[in-house]
Structure 1
Amino acid sequence: MAKRLPEPVTESRRVALEVLERVRSGDLVDRALARVAGRLNPRDHGWVQELVYGTLRLRGRLDHILSAFVRGSLERLEPTVLEILRLGTYQLLEMGSVPSYAAVSQSVELAKMAGVGRAGGLVNGVLQSVRRGSSKVGFAHFEDDPIEHLATWGSHPRWLVERWVERWGAGDARALVQANNRRPELYVTPVGLSVAEARDRLDQVGIQAADVPGFVDSVRILPPAGPAEALAAVPSVVQDPAAATVVRYAEVAGDATVVDLAAAPGGKTAGLAIRARYLAAADLSIGRMRRVRSNVTRTGVDGRVGLVVADGLQPPFAPVDLVLLDAPCTGTGTLRRHPDGRWRIGPGDLAALVELQRALLESASTLVRRGGVLLYATCSVEPEENEEQVERFLARHPEFQIEAPAPSIDGTMLKEGYLSILPQRHGTDGAFAARMIRDA
């Protein structure tokens, strides 16, 4: 039988490696993928997205398996070689449509293309060992060592797992890890029409959709439809139900003036604007403000929204009826949607973000008129960024009081007046919000 000759590395695998290299250099995975999307047709784009997002999502598990077949620690490998091994291992173990010989040989060719061809033998040897022996690699049992199990098989940083186990217990921490490792579904929030009207329009163009139990403002878009088709059919924003519920929790009056102090990407901006008289949307980045403009223009609320490039620490606004501070945070409530986030943050980042949130809250509070609302929100599940941050603010500012909105939200999402949505309990992203009324 003739020996199979290696085929040139596919463009899809070149792109996948390039995206992971960009992520390692500090880029966000969605932005990194968008930068190279033009080089791929829609089918290949979907394949690359599965490979890249899956490799990031299961990186901890993949590294544990690779450690069994690499001499010494993985840290001694060149970073590019390690990324190639991760990509190859994910294809071998998680992408049944990829023949094992292709996963191995293409990884070797990818190493040559990437300028690390001298490591081709190592790549071939390690991936052949993974192909033959991965099922024999041991993982800690959850019952014996829940933290080790969730860090390796569950593929999460140990410091996060330890926090969650201490806070919620091992069972709830495992539920959160499992939720974070599920592929997120596609949701849209209609703007200016009801969910029923939106579903009618979607049905008219052949897009299957479903309601989202417990989340009355959201529509789940079913495959094969993607975001572009849904947005073309209905004035809406791509938005997780948890984020849409933050807007409902705000309880905006129809004649209200609003400042959205960290507006990008603009989903909450559009949802608030359709309910208010006028909204000023601010963000420090011109690039991010372009995304806000796109969302408010497409949803038809641009006539009541003003866009301002401004620093939230020095906002150029007079007092208004409602100020939304959707604060920069660790994003630990959105790790299923942003799998790179779990590897990007560390304890030091948490501490720095808590201090930034404190300063932004102080700034935002100066913009709230008497009787107005300060709405503080994050997509984190960490108490330092959520309840504890708000409690410290209220201790410094007795003129503000927590006031829950009228009962239009599932009671399981409300805790002592706060909005608290958890992935492991509600099946969505995580979200936190505090609605504070200024009475003096």
Structure 2
Amino acid sequence: MPRRPASPRPDDVPGFPARRAALRLLDAVLRRGDPLELALHGAAQGLPSADRALVHAIVAEVLRHLPDLDALIDGATKQVLPDDAKARMVLRIALAQTLALGTPAHAAIATALPLVDGGPRKLVHGVFGTVTRGEPVLPDPPTLPADVIERWAGQWGEAMPQAAARVYAVRPPVDISLRDASETAIWTDALNGTSFAPGHVRLPETAHIPELPGFAEGAWWVQDIAASCAARLLGPGEGRSVLDLCAAPGGKTMQLAAAGWRVTSIDQSKKRLERLTENLTRTGLSADILPADLRQWQPDAPVDAILLDAPCSATGIYRRHPDVLHRIGPRQIAELAELQGDLIARVAGWLKPGGQIIYATCSLERAEGEEQVERFLAAHPDFALLPAQTAELPQGLAPTPQGWLRTLPDTLTDQGGADGFFIARLAKASDQALTMKA
């Protein structure tokens, strides 16, 4: 009797190592709460760069469409699979490839089934077949997680999560900041872009960054238009001293240096500071760089200005990092808000009388923005909010009635949108004002 040929080992299945890495990465994000970008290195270790890119693409699409993928899976099973069940994880990966990345169904399931060797292969194969035979189409825009919708609607109203879902389906634009703002018209024309402010260009969707004119020469760097507003509110430096705190990878440091500030850039991550150093070298700008924990370090003398880009939930950049919608909840937001409060109170003591603090977070949570500044001002009578002015901001952005800048998912909607940010400018009273108050 002829012997049946042995089934191929999983590692011999073309494309399987990348799918195994995708499963590890998805587990790290959803079960352990690790950031996608940080967990990618460990999950895809040893894979070539093309496979690493595929791993990232698969998991990013799973996260972007997670509620809709789960709805398809639940509609094809008699009993609901646990959220962290391996079978559900594998089905998410297979369906995301087929429905979002255009992978043929037979190829997606062929690389998925070895992930459940010794497990529920029949279940995975059957559910995948049931779903794909129905020729489903993922909703456009994707459905946001229910808890995120509830949280954002509670803070901003029912229209906000609807706007957030609409822009979630749109590829985020690429903005650049220029080393020399006087060359804005030159670079806008050279790069076929659009400018909303001196020193800013929004690039066409097809732009391939490293190959564009001016990149290698350091004439500009990538930086979302909302993020660029923090340094804009400090204005020209004229040789004055500024601390850029939590500075890496350096967009704001380069803005400040280009505006004539004497910059000291501090970040806890030595690896991220390496990127900052590379960016400064490319652009020919200079700053003093220090790896330090702000809870332990302090300057030798007071400074003229401080830009605190505080550690935050990063929910404002959910379009670029869809993992934050699944990793971040009320507990994480509360913990980060406590850290932010400690940091801004600590660094306030490093400022000269008459100096300014820019407090910024790339968050859509009031606890990390509006509420943070309100608490700080209530506890520090020697500080006052210095309202942002429309003339200081890019076209299409405006300060709130309170005087700070808040960008939301409906900001610059017709031009491609902007990241979610909160930015406030706080001024310390001068010696004369403090004396008069006393």
| Both structures adopt the same fold (TM-score exceeding 0.5) | yes
- Identify the residue that residue 398 of structure 2 maps to in structure 1: 413
Letter aligned with residue 65 of structure 2: L
Partner Cα separation in structure 1 for residue 271 and residue 262 of structure 2: 23
Partner Cα separation in structure 2 for residue 374 and residue 385 of structure 1: 16
Residue 121 of structure 1 pairs with residue 109 of structure 2: no
Partner Cα separation in structure 2 for residue 226 and residue 40 of structure 1: 21
Letter aligned with residue 431 of structure 1: F
* Partner deviation per Cα, 1:354-376 (whole Å, 9 max, x = no partner): 11111001011011101110110
Q: How far 1:26 moved relative to its partner?
A: 4.1
* Partner deviation per Cα, 1:138-175 (whole Å, 9 max, x = no partner): x9xxxxxxxxxx9xx84433232112222333223201
Total equivalences in the alignment = 407
Residue 432 of structure 1 pairs with residue 433 of structure 2: no
Three-state SS of the structure 1 residue aligned to 2:193 is: strand
Partner Cα separation in structure 1 for residue 78 and residue 224 of structure 2: 43
Match of 1:84 among 82, 90, 108: 90
Letter aligned with residue 28 of structure 1: P
Q: Which deviates more, 29-38 or 430-439?
A: 29-38
Three-state SS of the structure 1 residue aligned to 2:411 is: helix
| Equivalent pair of 1:319/1:367 in contact (CA under 8 Å) | yes
Residue 256 of structure 1 pairs with residue 246 of structure 2: no
Identity rate, percent: 35
Q: How far 1:300 moved relative to its partner?
A: 1.4
- Structure 2 residues not aligned, in runs of 5+: 1-6
- Identify the residue that residue 102 of structure 1 maps to in structure 2: 107
Letter aligned with residue 438 of structure 1: K
Q: How far 1:263 moved relative to its partner?
A: 1.0
Match of 2:25 among 19, 22, 36: 19
Partner Cα separation in structure 1 for residue 173 and residue 21 of structure 2: 24
Q: Which deviates more, 400-409 or 361-370?
A: 400-409
Partner Cα separation in structure 1 for residue 326 and residue 243 of structure 2: 33
Q: How far 1:257 moved relative to its partner?
A: 0.5
Q: What is the correspondence of 1:171-320 to structure 2 with a 5 Å cutoff? A: 171-193=159-181, 194-199=183-188, 203=190, 208-212=191-195, 214-222=196-204, 224-230=206-212, 231-232=215-216, 234-302=218-286, 305-317=287-299, 318-320=301-303
Q: What is the correspondence of 1:37-76 to structure 2 with a 5 Å cutoff? A: 39-40=47-48, 47-75=54-82
| Equivalent pair of 1:62/1:86 in contact (CA under 8 Å) | yes
Match of 2:36 among 29, 54, 61: 29
Partner Cα separation in structure 2 for residue 360 and residue 329 of structure 1: 12
* Partner deviation per Cα, 1:203-253 (whole Å, 9 max, x = no partner): 4xxxx54115x4543333335543333432543322211111222123243
- From the superposition, tell whether residues 47 and 221 of structure 1 become closer, same or farther in structure 2 (CA, over 3 Å): farther
Partner Cα separation in structure 2 for residue 220 and residue 46 of structure 1: 25
Partner Cα separation in structure 2 for residue 411 and residue 220 of structure 1: 13
* Partner deviation per Cα, 1:321-354 (whole Å, 9 max, x = no partner): 1101111111111100110011111111111111
| Equivalent pair of 2:188/2:201 in contact (CA under 8 Å) | yes
| Equivalent pair of 1:215/1:245 in contact (CA under 8 Å) | no
- Structure 1 residues not aligned, in runs of 5+: 140-149
- From the superposition, tell whether residues 76 and 48 of structure 1 become closer, same or farther in structure 2 (CA, over 3 Å): closer
Three-state SS of the structure 2 residue aligned to 1:16 is: helix
Match of 1:361 among 344, 351, 369: 344
| Equivalent pair of 2:99/2:137 in contact (CA under 8 Å) | no
- Identify the residue that residue 93 of structure 1 maps to in structure 2: 99
Partner Cα separation in structure 2 for residue 74 and residue 188 of structure 1: 45
Partner Cα separation in structure 2 for residue 383 and residue 361 of structure 1: 16
Instruction: Give the RMSD, CA atoms, in angstroms.
Output: 2.8
* Partner deviation per Cα, 1:2-61 (whole Å, 9 max, x = no partner): xxx99824154344334324434443222344564873455x665544322111111121
